[in-house]
Structure 1
Amino acid sequence: MLEEKIIKTGLGTFKISLRAPKENPLVVFLSGAGQFDTYETFENVIDLLPESFGILAVDYLNTGHSGKAVMDYSMRQEAAAIAKMVNDQDTEKVILVAHSIGGVYALLMTDQIENLTRFVGIEPTTREIVLDPPSTPGYEAEDSDQTQQQMEDWLHDHVRKEFVPQQAAKIWQTFEASIARLDETDGARLQQVMNGAPWDDKKLKLPETLASTIITESYRVEEMNRSEFMTTNSHSKIIMAGTYHYIHWENPEVIAKAIAEL
């Protein structure tokens, strides 16, 4: 079982889900953008991992079950706060598992986390996909003209498809409750964080010595191979899986295997 904890910081109150490691490593989960609870949407992956693995799943401020930010803040500041939570667990090996925008948070904290040994990226958001998306087949989906409601309906359909009914209901209840409690100031702060992501910082990349496993759809393999998430470590590799962006929902066994093999 994972323990839910509330962590108070100068930025606001974070909710984390924690299982202290009986053995190494500690696996840290970072979600993509959105109002989901990180543990809830990675639960199918976590359930496939050995129970001896430590788990730390963090909800970003103003999302999931975390509290509202109490001040304007940047992605760098939030990443630093999360890195401190990781270091506070005092473990000898840390694996970062990041989905989508969580990959950018990972880039910002790799030089702050003690004993970081591996990175697992689930279609981490690359500088290229934001600033200069390729025109090759598959990428047209990234420029979708869907409305906010259509996107939420799409997410809801996939949650119901990939999770058992009780899980799906809980995930969506959290999603809707998290949106409902945000006021205009909260929304503006979240948008400010996303707008302030360091897309143009070409020096921001994973350390070349860090082993990196990237799981991605087939059409994004070349993008990922030349991205800031691929390293020259001999154990770094790309795994093709999934038919849409939430590969950890669709193929949790692929993600769990990639983590356990490390």
Structure 2
Amino acid sequence: MSETRDPAYIHGVEPVEQARLAALNDLLNPAMLEVLAPGSGDRVLDAGSGLGQFTRAIARRVGPAGRVVGVERSEAQLTAARAAPDDPGSAPVEFRLGDAAAPPLDEDEWGAFDLAHCRFVLEHAPAPERVVAALAGAVRPGGRVFLADDDHDLLRLWPEAPGVERLWRAYIGVYRALGADPFVGRRLTGLLHLAGCAPTRTAVVDFGACAGDARFGPLVRNLAGILRGARANIARLGLLDDEEIDRAMDDLHAWAGRPDAAIWYVVLCAEGRRPG
């Protein structure tokens, strides 16, 4: 079966991107799990489950009385997720091939989950409202829908690095050219409301660090990996040429060596409940 690709997905599924995503999970998952706060015994739908690292973290938290279903449209990521060993004492985890906007659920599974979650999915979705509507339909009355996503306008580097800023703006331009929304994080409560859920809380998960923080190096590598992965599209769309991209990447490397360097960024989160 051929790989199912979303035309609005900017990152691809090549091995180097898989490695970046795995490292990203290592950085974000502990704090994200605390904000998500799944309960013991919860039935959880994880839409856009990717490599399955966070899905399995959720399964460990809800325990053997719970149940977790991950839905992923990339066969490469789904294969990696299924290959990981099950954790003793965790909830059963099932990974299914499918689209977050139309998750492959059985008839009796609709309206049966306690919690539906997606992270870094809506920014790539041509119609994010369809994804949130599907999540709202998957949870029981009173169930929770939790969204986490990016607003790429929030990234700040200090000291300022104008070359990197231009490259970041070009990266944002790729999202727009692909019909995706690089600023969807600021819309999360609106998307919940549109899906018929009552927004109940917002939160942010820190995704920044300074040069003296152990997370700084991995965060710089993540940023560099994102920009390298978008290089072909940036050049193809004429947003920057190869020489400009090379200079910007050199600027990022030089900036990262400064003792006063800092990345400022957060992941935006919002939760709503299905009425009933």
TM-score (norm 2): 0.36
Q: Which has the larger radius of gyration?
A: 2
